[in-house]
Structure 1
Amino acid sequence: MAWVREVCKRIGMVLMIAGSCDGGRGRRTPSVIVRCERGGLYAGKKVPGDDDQRPGKRSTGSKKCNCPFKLKGTKEHKDDEKAEWKLDVYSGIHNHNLFENLHEHSYAGRLSKEQTSLVHTLKKAMVKPRAILRLLKENDPSNVTGMKTVYNTISKLNFNELSGRSQLQLLFARLKEDEYLSYHRSNELNPITDLLWIHPKCIKLAQSYPYIFVIDCTYKTNRYRLPFLEIVGFTCTNMTFSIAFEYLDHEKTENFEWVLRCLMEAMISCPWPNCIVTDRDLALMKVVANVYPSSHHLLCRWHVNKNILANYKKMFTKDITKWKQFQSAFSALIERNTIEEFNEDWEAMERTFVGYPSAITYVANSWLDPYKEKLASVWTIKCTHFGTYTSSRVEGAHRRMKRDVHNSTGTFVDLYTKVNNQIVEQYNDIKASFEVSKNTYEHTFKTLIYNELRGSISKFALQLLKVEVDNAKLLQPSDMGCSSSEQLTVYHVAMNFMSMLL
């Protein structure tokens, strides 16, 4: 077959196997029938002359034109493994012209075992399909493989035939091999329904920086359509790190509670987070309050604004300026730092938008009355959140992960491989940021007041501290110099501020 296909490729023909016999039934002689790929007749439902360019229909066609070309190969001796094959030409003519080139011919563009192995290796290394195809053609100039063949080969990677539950079992076994801390649960129907895993390096970072946890689900990461939950935190160098990952069977209260209980068990040696930030997922919000009752729970302001935009911008279509005023007024309202200012702004907002009662009612009933303690600065300023008002950190982690995933047709093992690579890169970047903070002194901080801090706290913390020091200096009269006692006062202000960052 290899010889036949090579000869046909040289002269512009593409052959396919029409039938074969291995000689296993009775005493029949092993044989194979080969015909032109344009042999046979189209047997579908399309009627010649019908227009298939209708809305929602793809334009389709067929190569088949009942080409009579046919060969038959027969093994000369059935029981002799070294016996040769005889090739008979049943019909040596075509009813069409030979092909000028063999591009986009699926049989001619099939990959060999070595090429398929190369595609799998490059895909695991996160090489893009187009780059893989370019390398195949560089290695073999006569290769006529197309992008469709490369995509189909990639889609079969990592035990494509397994079901979603079997894939979860396969991933669980892989996590054990890689020494991940993992948890799973099952029911009477499925061996694994939910699966959570944490990298040992992530545990160390979470134990060092347990102050803020940001939790969110993302979708379209796997062909089985299971939601993917990610929990992240951030270091003193302002770099985001992943804490835990989880595949959820459903986004229900019992699923979220199981996740947070497992997380608490994994981090039993470190304190509870000061603050947890989520969107308004009612099931998740309920679980956070039950599992971490002493942690402050904040709602993502970005999701709140998007929700208001989706529901009530249409009411202001006749006056876009009024809508912008409404947005600005709401943003200013939730940033007020005293209850008096908050109440005054809310009353002013009610008077200004008296012509839009449903919008005011929605903001009051859906957000301010039930969730103002989780949303407005006058209440959230009482907890240590380091300016984390949104879930943008975890959204950014989702975006980086999906940038490597490329599509939503991969398996659980596909995603795990990419996430594992990202964790290693992330950890290396964080270690590098620590070294920079320890050994690189910016000229801005080469003054007396920062002598005891340089190299002991991060550059990011020094930048925040500088803002506080500058604000403290502005409180002094401009015509007065900064005496040593005043420097000491500023230093104490700075150290009080730093007690939250260390």
Structure 2
Amino acid sequence: MEGAKVIAKDLGFFLTHSSTKSNDGEKYPRIYLHCHRGYKNNTYVPDPDKKGRSNTKSLKDGCRFRVRLVGLPEEKTWMIDGVKDNHNPGQFCGFHNHALELYPEGHTQRNAFTNEELKDMKEMEWARVAPRKMMQTINQNYGTHHNKRQFYNMTANIRIERLSGMTPSDWTLHHAREMGYYIGYKRDDDRHLTHLFLAHPESVRMLSAWYHVILIDSTYKTNKYKRPLVEVIGVTPVKRNFNIGFAMMEGETTDSYVWLLRELQNMLGDRIPNAILTDKEGGLVAAIPQVFTKSAHLLCIWHIKRNIEAKMMDLGIPQEVARGVVHGSWKKVMEATTPHAMIEEWENFKNGFWGRNSKLIEYLDRECLEHKEKWACAYTNNIFHIGNTSTNRVESAHSTLKAWLNTSTGGVDTLFLSWHASIGGQVIEIRKELETCRTKTFKGAYGPPYGVIRGSVSLYALELMFVEGKKTPSECDCVIGRTHGLPCSCRINSFKGAGDHFR
């Protein structure tokens, strides 16, 4: 039978098994094959009056081509024979009613994946390679012509095989547990997963060392459940962020965020973050003081600027003008170094041109200045935040994860695998940067006061200290000591003048 199919394929059509007959009184066993564009029953005729979907497509067009394989036991072989046409006595079903194959790309029977190709595809799917990129690699490596739909279908089949009958949530919990993940989850009364928090074992280890500043933000369009995905990000001393964990929650309510923060608190143990940076999401803002009572809560200045710009555009102000205000007179309010200076800049803003726009002033007073302690430099300069005053790091993490996802409608298992794949590369890059700090020297750090700490302090910290050391005593505001925990200009110059080293 396979030999007959190979012959047919070489001629430009495909044969499908119809039936096998051996115990019906005939002398020899027979295997009946028909054209793949015909019907299994040679006498079947579709009813044109039968109602059905009119917009569907089918390969079946009633082709009557049929052959039979007759077994010859004496000769231990099979013979290919024709089949009589029941509708036309005396004739055989030996003709097709359609053109033969022209483009092999349109026929999955000719383009079936080989075992070697399937093995490569499974490895690429595990590494979260997009089907469109699989197509380019497989076709190029094997000289084949598989089409895009084949790759998407096979990727879906590989996922079904991987789940092995388990639900996506159960599979995720099982494998996350096997991989040593920190796991937190909640189920409803029907045992459906409503909340999930996962943290890679390497992330747990990094958090134990670098817990001082934590950034939290949510994003959408990452899963088929249309639930928010919350990413929790930490900051390393080499100016690289690391993913602490991700959570998928039922909604962005205060209760959901309290649950997430409790899981984060459980990971931290007795460690307390100095600062937690977020946007102005109501549920998250309300949850933080309930859990992290001793941590400073900062609001993202990038979101504040963007919201002001959007409000001004709603008031009919052109975008270019709004952007100029945000990065001009309003920026002076945000970056004033003392509360007194900030009040002065705010009064200047109100007494200026934009003070006549009562709706804008009311918005700034209500939405921004009411929470000034969480974003204004006059207040945040007294908080250890290592230079993090916006959630851009989390936005970057969102983009990275979505690049690994390849889809916005995947299940929780797809989300977990994409997250796991992204963490591996992240850990490698952080370790590379840490080793660079141990083996390379910042040129400005020779001699007092940096000589002893070279190789044990990050290059980023040395660069900041070098720039700070160039300030004159009158320019030193000691801010870097409070925000970064590094020596300020007056202390650096004091050590330098005495020829002493930091230790």
Deviating more after overlay: 290-299 vs 344-353: 344-353
Aligned to 2:156: 155
Per the TM alignment, residue 380 of structure 1 is displaced from its structure 2 partner at its CA by 1.6
The alpha-carbon deviation at position 325 of structure 1 amounts to: 2.8
Q: CA deviation at 1:320?
A: 4.4
Cα distance, 1:331 vs. partner? 2.2
- For residue 159 of structure 1, give the secondary structure of its aligned residue in structure 2: helix
d(CA) in 2 for partners of 1:8, 1:286: 70
Q: Deviations over 1:132-153 (max 9, x none)?
A: 3244335554x44211111221
Query: Secondary structure of 1:197's partner?
Result: strand
2:261 aligns with 260
C-alpha displacement of 1:459: 0.8
- Opposite residue 251 of structure 1, the aligned amino acid is E
User: Match of 2:125, as an amino acid?
Assistant: K
Report the 3-state secondary structure (helix = DSSP H, G, I; strand = E; otherwise coil) of the residue aligned with 1:195.
strand
Tell me which amino acid in the other structure corresponds to 1:254: D
What corresponds to 2:333 in structure 1? 333
Shift of residue 379, structure 1, vs aligned partner: 1.7
Aligned with 2:227: secondary structure? Answer: coil
Amino acid at match of 2:222: T
Q: Which residue pairs with 2:347 in the alignment?
A: 347
User: CA offset at residue 230 of structure 1?
Assistant: 1.4
In the alignment, structure 1 residue 490 sits paired with structure 2 residue 493: yes
Q: 2:118 aligns with which of 108, 116, 119?
A: 116
Q: CA, structure 1 residues 110+309, in 2 after alignment: closer, same or farther (shift >3 Å)?
A: farther
Does the 8 A contact of 2:439 with 2:455 survive in 1?
yes
Deviation at 1:389? 0.9
CA distance in 1, matches of 2:197, 2:326: 42
Aligned mates of 2:19, 2:285 — CA distance in 1: 63
* Separation (CA, whole Å) in 2 of partners of 1:494 and 1:407: 59
The answer for the alignment partner of 1:173 in structure 2 is 174
The residue that corresponds to 1:125 in the other structure is 127
CA contact (8 A) 1:449 1:491 kept: no
For 1:386, the equivalent position in structure 2 comes to 386
Amino acid at match of 1:180: Y
CA distance in 1, matches of 2:96, 2:208: 74
Amino acid at match of 1:71: R
Q: 1:354 to 1:491 in 2, by over 3 A?
A: closer
Match of 2:421 in 1: 421
Check 1:408–1:4 CA distance in 2 against 1; reply closer, same or farther (3 A cut). Answer: farther
CA distance in 2, matches of 1:76, 1:448: 96
Summarize the Cα distance change of 1:323–1:13 in structure 2 as closer, same or farther, 3 Å threshold: same
State the SS of the aligned residue for 1:450.
coil
1:350-395 residue CA offsets vs partner (Å, 9 max, x unmatched): 23213422222122212222x2111211122221112211111111
User: Where does 1:139-150 land on structure 2 (aligned, <5 Å)?
Assistant: 140-141=142-143, 143-150=144-151
Q: Distance in 2 between matches of 1:163 and 1:362?
A: 55
Whole-angstrom CA distance in 1 between matches of 2:220 and 2:341: 40
Aligned to 1:470: 470
Structure 1 residues 32, 413: closer, same or farther in 2, change over 3 A? farther
Question: Which amino acid letter does the alignment assign opposite residue 295 of structure 1?
Answer: S
Show CA shifts across 1:168-214 (max 9, x none): 11100001111222122222112532221222322221121111000
1:176-255 mapped onto 2 (5 Å cutoff): 176-255=177-256
Secondary structure of 2:105's aligned partner: coil
CA contact (8 A) 1:73 1:86 kept: yes
CA distance in 2, matches of 1:251, 1:288: 13
2:66 alignment partner in structure 1? 71
Partner SS state of residue 448, structure 1: coil
Question: Residue 451 of structure 1 aligns to a residue in which SS?
Answer: coil
Deviates more, 1:331-340 or 1:90-99: 90-99
Residue-by-residue CA offset, 1:338-357 (whole Å, 9 max, x unaligned): 22221222222223213422
- The yes-or-no answer on 1:411 pairing with 2:411 is yes
Distance 2:198 2:334 in 1: 36
**Alignment partners' CA distance in 2, 1:221 and 1:185:** 20
Structure 2 contact 313–322 (Cα < 8 Å) conserved: no
Query: 1:457 maps to which residue?
Result: 457
Q: How much does 1:12 deviate?
A: 1.8
Alpha carbons 2:63, 2:98 under 8 Å: kept:
no
Deviation (angstroms), 1:420: 1.9
Q: Paired residues, what number?
A: 463
Partner of 2:95: 93
| Cα offsets for 1:401-450 (capped at 9, x unmatched) | 22222222333223322322332322222222222212211222113321
- Structure 1 277/16 Cα, relative in aligned 2: closer, same or farther at 3 Å? farther
Gaps of 5+ in 1: 24-28, 47-59, 477-485
Q: Report the Cα distance in structure 2 between the residues aligned to 1:489 and 1:126, rounded to whole angstroms.
A: 49
CA distance in 1, matches of 2:368, 2:491: 44
CA deviations 1:191-241 (Å, max 9, x no partner) are 532221222322221121111000112222233333222111111111111
Deviates more, 1:106-115 or 1:208-217: 106-115
Q: Give the TM-score taking structure 1 as reference length.
A: 0.81
Aligned in 2, Cα 1:162/1:442: closer, same or farther, shift over 3 Å? closer
Q: Which residue does the alignment assign to 2:484? A: none
* Contact 1:165–1:193 (CA under 8 A) maintained in structure 2: no
- Pair 1:137 & 2:132 matched: no
- In structure 2, relative to structure 1, the CA distance for the partners of 1:488 and 1:160 (3 Å cut) is closer
1:104 alignment counterpart: 106
| Equivalent pair of 1:336/1:378 in contact (CA under 8 Å) | yes
Q: Which moved more, 1:5-14 or 1:296-305?
A: 5-14
Aligned to 1:56: none
Q: What amino acid is the match of 2:445?
A: F
Q: Which residue of 2 aligns with 1:276?
A: 276
